[in-house]
């Protein structure tokens, strides 16, 4: 494996959810050991020239906001985000299994994997349109971008609340519709889905009294219904944990409460700094900064399809930042917002 490609391994988890009043939410953790310099909440207004591959460009049909990069002239990048039609999504690492074609299929245009999120959010309003573009208009190609071919797969959701997973492996393109609403990293989505059968007994209800050999044991702690739920940070364990949390966790009554509770769910899969030490930190590129010997959850984002709201937290600053596409509509050029990584404290007594 190319060393530059190998350095692009990492974590990442994504979850789609809904509130009691029908708001569709989507969130993701970005788990890695570095961030490209200049990465920040990035707004791309309608009309921004977007790129799918060298020589393949089009003006954005929809404004979008997400974590991204404007450091490369003429090449706006989004790692994740939401557009004004309510389409949400992001890229996750698909280490060891991602495979792309050497060139586009007849009648199709090439799509470089790291550019897929920005392109789809700028050109599509629904999951149906994303699927159609990938099946009929584009071929994912292994053309390097910034010196590497990133091993990626993708999670998308829209205002219906459906979550779609997109993968390209040695057997070709796979688009999974009406999924369990969760995605992490390798192995593939169909493997993770089948693996859930190994945890079929997990439930939200505690197990009560146990009788063994005439001995009666009364329950003395909570959470026994979830015994066996994996607690490590591997992709299979995070997938199982998030799938059951998504099933049993109490939904928020509205957007505000829903996003707060979804971020709590994402925290259960977040990488604590120091627990996931990497054997090969990887070579630094000109865009890399603050390289750590550990993968950790650099940031978490959440979005709401119905309101166009985009929220984020960072590892050292759990305060929820928020912006809506309607608020950003008065800006007509691509722009970035402060990411606010430094810890903050709310001085309660000072407000009395």
Residue 223 lies in a domain: no
SS3 content of the chain, % helix, strand, coil (to 5): 20, 30, 50
Among residues 347, 285, 273, which one has the least CA distance to residue 314? Answer: 273
Token pair 């995070």 is found at 238
The DSSP code for 85 is T
Which residues in the chain come in under a pLDDT of 50? 1-9
75: domain CATH number?
3.60.60.10
CA–CA dist 306, 297 (Å, integer): 27
Residue 226 lies in a domain: no
pLDDT digit string (tens) for 91-129?
999 999 999 999 999 999 999 999 999 999 999 999 999
CA–CA dist 249, 304 (Å, integer): 18
Q: How many domains does the chain have?
A: 1
Burial of 221 (C-beta count, 10 Å sphere; 0-12/13-18/19+): exposed
Q: Which residues are catalytic?
A: 12
Residue 267 lies in a domain: yes
Residue 216 lies in a domain: no
Our measurement of the distance from residue 39's CA atom to the centroid of its chain's CA atoms, rounded to an integer in Å, reads 15
Residue 205 lies in a domain: no
pLDDT digit string (tens) for 134-144?
999 999 999 99
Residue 203 lies in a domain: no
CA–CA dist 238, 232 (Å, integer): 7
Give pLDDT, residue 281.
65
Residue 45 lies in a domain: yes
Of how many residues is the chain composed?
Answer: 352
Residue 65 lies in a domain: yes
CA–CA dist 309, 122 (Å, integer): 16
Which residues constitute the domain of residue 162? 3-189+232-351
């Amino acid at each position: 494996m190319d060393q530059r490609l190998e350095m692009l391994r990492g974590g990442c988890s994504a979850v789609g959810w809904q509130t009691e009043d029908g708001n569709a939410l989507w969130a993701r953790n970005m788990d890695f050991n570095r961030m490209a310099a200049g990465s920040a909440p990035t707004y791309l207004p309608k009309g921004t020239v977007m790129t799918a591959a060298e020589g393949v460009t089009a003006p954005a049909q929809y404004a979008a906001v997400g974590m991204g990069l404007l450091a490369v002239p003429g090449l706006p990048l989004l790692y994740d985000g939401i557009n004004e039609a309510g389409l949400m999504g992001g890229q996750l690492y698909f280490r060891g299994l991602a495979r792309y074609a050497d060139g586009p299929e007849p009648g199709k245009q090439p799509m470089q994997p790291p550019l897929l999120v920005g392109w789809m959010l700028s050109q599509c309003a629904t999951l149906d349109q994303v699927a159609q573009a990938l099946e009929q208009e584009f071929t994912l190609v292994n053309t390097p971008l910034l010196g590497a071919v990133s091993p990626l797969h993708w999670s998308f959701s829209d205002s219906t609340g459906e979550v779609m997973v997109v993968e390209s492996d040695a057997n070709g393109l796979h688009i999974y519709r009406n999924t369990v609403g969760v995605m992490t990293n390798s192995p593939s989505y169909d493997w993770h889905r089948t693996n859930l059968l190994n945890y079929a007994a997990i439930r939200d209800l505690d197990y009560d009294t146990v009788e063994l050999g005439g001995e009666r044991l009364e329950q003395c702690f909570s959470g026994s219904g979830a015994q066996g739920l994996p607690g490590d940070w591997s992709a299979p364990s995070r997938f199982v944990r998030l799938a059951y949390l998504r099933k049993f966790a109490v939904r928020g009554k509205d957007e505000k409460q829903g996003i707060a509770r979804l971020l709590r769910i994402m925290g259960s899969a977040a990488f604590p700094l120091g627990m996931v030490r990497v054997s090969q930190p990887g070579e630094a590129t000109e865009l890399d900064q603050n390289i750590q010997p550990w993968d950790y959850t650099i940031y978490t984002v959440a979005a709401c399809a119905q309101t166009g709201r985009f929220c984020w937290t960072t590892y050292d600053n759990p305060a929820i930042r928020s912006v809506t596409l309607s608020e950003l509509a008065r800006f007509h050029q691509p722009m970035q917002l402060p990411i606010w990584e430094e810890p903050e404290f709310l001085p309660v007594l000072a407000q009395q």
